[in-house]
Amino acid sequence: MLNTSANGQNELSDREVLSLASAGDAEAFGELYLRYVDRIYNYVYYRTGNHHDAEDLTARVFFRAMRHIRNYQDRGVPFSAWLYRIAHNLVANWHRDNSRRQEIPLDDISYRQSERQLPETTLLRTEEQAELLQIIRDLPPERQQLLILKFVEHYSNAEIGTIMGRTEGAIKSLYHRTLLSLRNKFIGQQGPKGPLPGRLS
């Protein structure tokens, strides 16, 4: 049984929980699951574009992790990197098996908006977001992963580097190239009178 403090925070570190889970402790693996399920779900959701496949693949990620938990070797890389690696491989297989394109329903796009925004502005922004998501989905997998880790999970460049197996400098460079590529594709879709700059401000 895992100890929890009075304020509900877990006392055990990932490493300690991992060692228990490796020994076959179901409670410990359950704890790891609770710590990472949201992050893995988000990653898979943005890579697949729909909740149904996101749920299916997230379940597969954790079942695979459970089967191979004994093989996990602590090489100074966080446990999340291992989980993201499994998720990345499963999503790659999923994309290979599903050559058909899938659209994200607009209802599913979560976006923050000011209550004072005019309906026209909101509609315009929703369209832009849908277009942007479509362009992101056309990016190479590693660039998609970088954007998801940066904007959804708010990881630093150094943390993303650890997860993706690259240096911090390489991540910075990749991020800049990804932004440039996104901008060019976005302007290309919108035409010369596109939203950048102007409509967004």
Partner 1 sequence: MKIKFPWTKPADEDLAQLEDLLSITLTPIAPRPDFTTDLQDRLKTNMPAPAALAAETRPSGQYWTFWGLMAVVGSLLLVLTGFRFYAALLGALGIISGFSGRPTKNKRAASLKPAA
Q: Which is nearer to partner 1, 12 or 187 (CB)?
A: 187
CA distance 30 to 66: 10
- What would the two tokens of residue 83 be? 């989980």
Q: Which residues of 21-46 are buried (b: 16+ CB within 10 A; e: fewer)?
A: beeebeebbebbbeebeebbbbbbbb
Neighbours of 65 (CB within 10 A): 21
Q: Nearer Cβ to partner 1, position 11 or 169?
A: 169
Taking the complex as a whole, the smallest distance from the CB of residue 7 to partner 1 amounts, in Å, to: 22
Pick 12 or 33: Cβ nearer partner 1: 33
The residue among 12 and 66 lying less far from partner 1, judged by its C-beta, is: 66
Q: Kindly list the residues in this chain that would bind partner 1 in the complex (CB under 8 A).
A: 22-24, 26, 29-30, 33-34, 37-38, 41-42, 45-46, 51, 54-55, 58-59, 62-63, 66-73, 75, 77, 81-82, 84-86, 89, 108-113, 125, 128-129, 132-133, 136, 147-148, 151-153, 163-167, 170, 179-180, 182-183, 186, 196-197, 200-201
Residue closer to partner 1 (CB basis): 6 or 179: 179
CA distance 195 to 199: 5
Residue 200 beta carbon to partner 1: minimum distance, rounded to whole angstroms: 4
DSSP string, 13-79: -HHHHHHHHHTT-HHHHHHHHHHHHHHHHHHHHHHH-SHHHHHHHHHHHHHHHHHTGGG---SS--H
Nearest approach in angstroms of CB 197 to partner 1 is 5
Shortest spacing between CB 15 and partner 1, in angstroms: 14
182/12 Cα distance (integer angstroms): 41
